[in-house]
Amino acid sequence: MGYRNLQECVADLERRRELIRIETEVDPNLEIGAVQRRVYQAGGPALLFTRVKGCRFPMLGNLFGTLDRTRYIFRDALDDIRHLVELKINPVAALRNPLEYLGVPRAALHLLPKKVSRGPVLASRTTIDQLPQLKSWPMDGGPFVTLPQVYSESPLRPGFRHSNLGMYRVQLGGNDYRLNEEVGIHYQIHRGIGVHHAEAIGRGMPFRVSVFVGGPPALTVAAVMPLPEGLPELSFAGLLGGRRLEMVAPQGQLPMPAEADFVITGTIDPAKTLPEGPFGDHLGYYSLVHDFPVLRVESVWHRPDAIWPFTTVGRPPQEDTTFGAFIHELTGLLIPEVLPGVKAVHAVDAAGVHPLLLAIGSERYVPYAESRQPRELLTIANAILGNGQLSLAKYLFISPHEDNPPDIHHVDAFLRFMLERVDWRRDLHFQTRTTIDTLDYSGSGLNEGSKVVIAAAGEKRRELPAELPAGLRLPEGFSTPCVCLPGVLAVQGGAFAESRDLNRFCSFFAPDDPINRFPLIVICDDSDFTARTLNNFLWVTFTRSNPATDISGIGEQTRAKHWGCEGSLVIDARIKPHHAPPLVDVPEIERRVDALGAAGGALHGVI
């Protein structure tokens, strides 16, 4: 069976030398986050900080820092989950191999939470200012809970069957929050708590919300799972944890995990918001200050041996990269069930997840045609952009499986395959005013921006150059061309001023100019940095551009309101005045981390 609580998990990992204790005092203000990021990059162990400056609670970082460790934590349930997925895809599988599926009925019993009358979490109370005051980046607006499990129930249909558990950012102090009385709840668009909030607004009454921290590790993963409607996250936590989740409900409050480490309880006034942020986030930039709901704190419960789990986020890859990979392993086979015609989908972590989505679909509408072109692919693309969190994608590249594309997790190979076949006159399909990720500041406003579908099908139409053409000319103000990968050229531009700068670049070239051998050109602030690694190219190009405003092309044309270009597609990926600032490490803090890794330091041999 899985771990009953976080303490069992910590003890087991320590026995396996998958966890080390840091006995040196470490500051939760910037330093602990920097340590965790460095150990994650080194593929290191989980970290239990036993001496947290200014706080009596130990902190646990990098618990899910490697995919192998994450698989180990949930090892007892993985076969049962795999079998349930297989039965969803093929219900007769159990009839063919009944012995292999004997554990499925037992696993299904774990879906129902178990009500209990008492639990360790109710042993003690504290206040918000006594919790670890974690700040990950220097411009953070205050201390944040970075692995929260925010629990709410439908005001119209109370009970766990209509509940939501989500990982929404929780700001513990700073800004205009009244210390110990209020905390900020930052949730992005297309999140389940938003439905409950809307119901509360309709009733004109506050609704109860609790923030769980710690507890069985399965709760943390359940809070980030993109589950279908009708399957509560609490049920999935029981399934992944290999045991029914024990829930206790103090009088007048929502139920809470009996084995949680901490629980913050309170109510959200549906009419009240306060400024929240800024906060370093997973696109590699700060999310800025905006008004978000406020939780009026009633109680802060904790167990006697409470541990505060945390992570830090920043430019990927980070620990949340492991979450994404693990979730794909659990649910990837279900994608064709949810989206007929889709063979595979990959949200590219290095590009910030939502900015870039790769997909493989089917092209069966006209199978007898002499040459294949996107038809069914466009129907499938619309279905993808209308489904759950996939709807937040900004760039969607999609190819038919009939063309035998490479594995979409080989991002560079897949992009090369697309660029060999794309026809920029035909294959670009824009949504010019729509919603994008709340954390993406490349658009026209908060939650506002554009999308583009790039659907390419058919025979290879070009060879992709891997070297600069002889005699390459660039207009004044543009310099230092660098090849990012075959067919992709980075060109350094001046500081962004206005879009006419991009138009001047494109109009400088005729459609038959040699530069058009590169089907994709990226205008950027630092072409050497952009071309240095694949991850740099992905991050710069897709986090710093808004398709409708930042895509142009050589020999552009509009026919029947369809935009395309004869020559190269050009993306302006320079930092714009309205963009959020990127995250930058603090040299003094990095020197402290270096000292921990030096001979005699707590992390010597780890980093």
Q: Is the pLDDT assigned to residue 105 strictly greater than 70? A: no
Task: Give the HSE-up count for residue 473: Cα atoms under 13 Å, Cβ half-sphere.
Answer: 8
Give 89's pLDDT tier (boundaries 50, 70, 90).
Answer: very low
Q: What percent of the chain has pLDDT over 90?
A: 76
The per-residue pLDDT for 195 is: 87
Q: Which amino acid is at 555?
A: G
What's the confidence (pLDDT) of residue 249?
93
Q: Residue for token digits 């139409």?
A: 461
Sequence-distant (≥ 6) Cβ neighbours of residue 570 within 8 angstroms: 502, 505, 506, 521, 522, 523, 551, 552, 553, 554
Helix (H) or strand (E) holding 419: helix 411-421
- For residue 104, what pLDDT is reported? 60
**Region 185-206: what's the mean pLDDT?**
86
Q: pTM here?
A: 0.92
Q: Give yes or no for residue 108 having a pLDDT over 90.
A: no
Q: How far apart are CA 120 and CA 303, in angstroms?
A: 5
Residue 567: predicted pLDDT: 96
Average pLDDT, the chain: 92
Selection from 29, 64, 71 nearest residue 44 by Cα: 64
Q: Does 278 sit behind a cis peptide bond, omega within 30 degrees of 0 on the bond before it?
A: yes
Of the pLDDT bands very low, low, confident and very high (cuts 50, 70, 90), residue 92 is very low
Decide: helix, strand or coil at residue 324: helix
- In angstroms, rounded to a whole number, what is the distance separating the alpha carbons of residues 405 and 14? 43
- Between 226 and 93, where is the model more confident? 226
Measured CA to CA, the distance from residue 364 to residue 36 in angstroms comes to 48
The DSSP secondary-structure symbol of 406 reads P
Q: What is the pLDDT of residue 379?
A: 95
pLDDT at 437: 86
Q: Are 550 and 571 in contact (CB under 8 A)?
A: yes
Which pLDDT belongs to residue 98? Answer: 57
pLDDT tens-place string over residues 438-468: 889 999 888 899 999 999 999 999 999 999 9
For residue 85, what pLDDT is reported?
64
For 372-424, how does the pLDDT look when each residue is reduced to its tens digit (9 = 90+)?
A: 889 999 999 999 998 888 888 999 999 999 999 999 999 999 999 999 999 99
- 243 SS3 class: coil
Model confidence pLDDT, tens digit, residues 299-332: 999 999 999 999 999 999 999 999 889 988 888 7
Percent of the chain with pLDDT over 70: 95
* 492-505: pLDDT as tens digits: 998 887 667 899 99
Whether 435 shows a pLDDT value over 80: the answer reads: yes
Structural domains of the chain in order of their starting residue, each with its CATH number: 6-73+110-310 (2.30.110.10), 331-455 (3.40.1670.10)
Total residues belonging to the chain = 607
CA distance 524 to 528: 10
pLDDT at 431 over 60: yes
For range 465-492, the mean pLDDT: 95
Lowest-confidence pick of 43-57, 183-197, 283-297, 552-566: 183-197
Q: What is the 3-state secondary structure (H, E, C) of 130-179?
A: HCCCCECCCCCCCCEECCCEEEEECCCCCCHHHEEEECCEEECCCCCCCC
Taking residue 571's Cβ as centre, other Cβ atoms within 10 Å add up to: 26
